Amino acid sequence: MEKVQVSINELIPLIKEKLESNGTVTLTITGNSMNPFFFDKKTIVTLKKPNIKLKRKDIVLYQCPNGVWALHRILRVKENYYVICGDALRILEYIPKNKVVAMVVSYRNNNKEIKVDNFLYNLKVNIWLLLRPFRKYLIYVIRRIRRKN
């Protein structure tokens, strides 16, 4: 099967349509903002419409104020917005709740599928969030190790 790279802006109408019919959508991640959990052009995520109340640690697809689409983690839930940040980023984003289109229910790295309700996955996420003040240094070390491999 031939892979075709398409801009997310071209796919959003199709994604929204599929999610509205309670379907799921599978996408390959591009970018490094969700390292060390998601990897550029290697991680495949499965998305669904957020039919439940979103909570801290959920990963969501949303539109940024500048029109760019992103897939990042919710750090805090406020009344009208979410505080969101990529796992490899330090800058927080304040995203209105109506800008969130989908949530990640599972992802695949190296042909291994991981559901976001998996105990071990959640343990790793909790540790990563606790290490947030030290991430800058951890990310540097992780990237150096990966370059050598």
pLDDT at 147: 84
Cα–Cα separations (whole angstroms), residue 11 to 50, 92, 116: 18, 26, 24
pLDDT tens for the 149 residues of the chain, in order: 676 777 788 888 889 999 999 999 999 999 999 988 999 999 999 999 998 899 999 999 999 989 899 999 999 999 999 999 999 898 999 999 999 999 999 999 999 999 999 999 999 999 999 988 887 787 788 888 888 76
pLDDT at 138: 78
pTM: 0.87
pLDDT at 1: 63
SS3 content of the chain, % helix, strand, coil (to 5): 30, 30, 40
Q: In CATH, what is the architecture of 8-148? A: Ribbon (2.10)
3-state DSSP assignment of residue 63: strand
